[in-house]
Structure formats: structure tokens, C-alpha cells
Amino acid sequence: MTSCTPQEAPSSSSSKVNLLQLATTCIYSTLLASQPIQQFKTNSRTKHDGSLVTDADGAAQAIIYSQIKKYNVKIVGEESELEMQRESYQEYQDLQLLQHVEQIMNLHSSMEIEDSEKVAVIVDPLDGTSAYAKGNYEAVTILVAIIVENIPVFGVICKPFRVGTDIPSFDHSGCSVIYGGTLLNGAFVMTGLEEYNDDDDKSQPQEQNQHQEHYYPLGRMELIRSKLHKQEQLLLEEHEETTSQQQQQQHSDSSSIENYKAYRRQMKRPSPTCIAEGVSSSSDGHTSASSLLSTDTSITIMPLTQNNHQRMDSSSSIPSPPITTVNSPPLSEQKSLNDSLTSSILNTPTISENSEIIYDDPPLLRAIISKSKGGGVVQQCIDSLASKQLIHSDPLYITGAGYKTMKLVLGEQNEGLWFFPKPGTSLWDVAAADALLRVMGGRITDGFGKNLDYSKGRLEADNKDGIIACCDEKLHQICLELYEKESWGDE
């Protein structure tokens, strides 16, 4: 929506926007928008630009638009007014779901207020439409980002179907939700109130299956890469305080590649805890937040790779239980869960016979690409970086721009780089991930290393100079330097 209708256009006199409230609405609106996506699954057709669209695209954007327009900010969405109006839809509302989102967002202390004229919201109501029309629901995501003075400060990636990830779905929506940015000083997964049945976990031996039903506590879980970035920042600050100017000069004289490898080796850290911070209603009705070692029953620790979640789809109909009756495992079981959190992105130590802590070199990051677009400049990039032992030589093939960015943020299989310095993506494909990666030590730019221009409207939103997205800004810079030096290009 490059332009709004007159009655929806921002007023000339600037109003104020509470960004935390806007972020809460963005999350809630993506969960509402998932409903037609889960229900429709048909009616694909071709737009004038040759791309596919479905009724779900327009309905999902209309739902998001109807929720956000009250903030009087600029909204840029992939679908036109015509597509939003093509399919009539009811005024989707779920007050219980809204209450649960608000409770989690109230755990964040951000109170930033901005002039509405400085704020924009970029919306991709259904990324992966081609896959969606073919019944490949793994690649489907909903992407929303808040932009303040051309800088992404908040992003949410909502996955309407529980295919292709092991992070829990939220509430009774059947959706997995990742959100965060500099606005919240972190990147998080929403957790809670998902019912799962141990009988549905086919990975367990049949004789071990027992009928049990559980509810995860309502709360948030900070992503590992977000926690690691905060730890790294603290370590770097300590390093700068104790390193002499001469040592710093010697370090800067080394090649950027060697600096990066040394940096990766020196970041020796134990496996961090991934904490789910919960909310519960006390006897007086007030909401309380707790920390890891608290005995509050609304706290638990969950690994991102836990597999005992019910696979939910649009046919699932699970009532949301009262949040006052949520129970968590005892501390001994919590510790066991925490010990099992062993992601490939972590440099986990071993102990030698003389009690010396030994760290292996961290595993190489992996590139993510589309199978159909994996040749030419993309393959040259992978070959060059792999030959220098900067990334793994085998890329991961992932469909859908939104799903790529989700995997890049999560790093479940050590995904680290999306190199695509040519046309084929748009601002709404990457804006949410841009906000998330900024708070995780990563970066997204165009193919020349310039920040993306989010001030453009819907008809100008193509990333004509491509994108380079990386979970590590240091590797991102090396990639840019090699791209220029070695002149990679499509044949």
C-alpha cells in the first residue's frame, strides 16, 4: 500500500505512537492473519507482474492492516488495495489471544514513544505463496517490521504451520512466533499454552509412549544467538579495557580473514541458558514475571530442538487453558532440559584429565540458498568462502525468502549466510529479519554493502541490488570484501 485512502492517511499534525503497543499489535495481527491462511489453501491466480497470489494473501493483509491503521503510521504491504478487497472477510478477533500476547509483551520494559510520521510498518502477509498454492506449507511465513526513520527496530516472523521447525507453537493458534529487535534489546520466541500429547510423538519407542497432556507456561524464550551476542559484547568490552594499544595495532594489521578466524576461536564460552520467562496470575490478579531459579511454577527451560510438541494445523481445535493452573517441571528436570540444549552454533567445552577446560573450534556456518538459484555468483561465493574455511562447503536448500530469514535467525542447523546480490527479493521479504539480526550481531545489506532503503513505497520495494544477509556482521564484511576483490558474477 504505497498510498492510503484519504480517511486512512496519516494526519498532517503528527501524533505520538507507543512502539511497544504497536509491536504488540503487530504480533497479534499476524496471529489473526494466520487464520485465513490456515483455512483457504486454494484459489491461486497470477498478478499483473507474473507472481502468484491467493485469496489468503489479500485477506491476511487486510486483517493486519485493519489492526495497525489505528496508529496512524505509514503501512507498506505487498498486496494492493484491490487484492485486499477482492475477498470479503469477517472482522477477525480473538480477545483471549490478544490478552496472552499483551501479558508476554508486558514483560518487556521498553517505553519508546515516537512521532507517527517517523514510523512505518512493512507487511508481507503471506510469504511463500507459490509453495503455499502447491501445498508446501513449510515455506509459509507472515512477516511484519516496524521502521523508525528508515531503521528496522522490531520484527515478527509468524509461521502459520508447524512444519519444518521444532520451536513450540503459541497458545491455541497453531503458529510459531519469533519477534524482537533493538526496541526490545533481544530476539525471542513466544511460548505457552500449547497442548501436546506424548502419544503423538512417533520418534519415541511405542512401549515408552504414555498418555500425558501438558501445557507450556505462557512466556517468552530468548534466542540463543541473541544471548550470545550480549555475552560477546561484554567480553569485547572487557577485552578492550585490558588490551594495550600496541596489541590492538598488531591485531588490526592482520588480514580480516585471519582476524575473523581468531575471533571465532577466542569466543570461548560455555553453553548459555535459554530461559523461558513466564507470566502467571496471582491471587490478587496481578501479573508477575520470574527468573530461572525462581520457584514460581510458571517457569521452565526449553531447548529449541525439543521434539515432543504436537504438530498442529488448521484443523486442530485446542481450547486455551486458564493460565493460573500452569505447572512446570521440578528444578532437577529443568536442569536436565538445559543440559540438553546443545545447538551447533555453540562452542561447548570439554574437561581434560587435569581439569583444564578445552574448547574445540566452533563449527562452520552454512549458506542457505534456493535450489533453482544456486549457480553462478551464489555458487562462486560458497566455493570461495568454503575454500578459506569460512563457511561449510555444503549449503542448505530452503524455499521462500521469509523461511530463509527465519532459519537464518534461529540457526537450528547452523544457518549463517544468505548471499543473493541480484534482483528477486523485496523489502517486505527481509525487513523483519533485518530488525532481528541487528540485535543478534548480524547484518543485512544490498549487494554493495549499503543499508536497505525502507522509505520506498510498495511499487518501488524491489531489492534491485540484491541482498547479503548474515548472522555475523564480521563474516558479512569479509563476504563483501571478497565479492569485490574476486569479482564473482553470473556467467
Could you give phi then psi for residue 287, rounded to 5 degrees?
A: -90, 135
Tell me which residue of 350, 370, 354 sits closest to 420, measured CA to CA.
Answer: 370
Find out whether 339 is annotated in a ligand binding site: no
Find out whether 429 is annotated in a ligand binding site: yes
Question: What grid cell was written down for 243?
Answer: 588490551
Amino acid at 289: A
Give residue for cell 598488531. 250
Find out whether 356 is annotated in a ligand binding site: no
Find out whether 127 is annotated in a ligand binding site: yes
Find out whether 234 is annotated in a ligand binding site: no
Which residues make up each annotated binding site?
78, 124, 126-127, 429
Which residues make up each annotated binding site for Mg(2+)?
78, 124, 126-127, 429
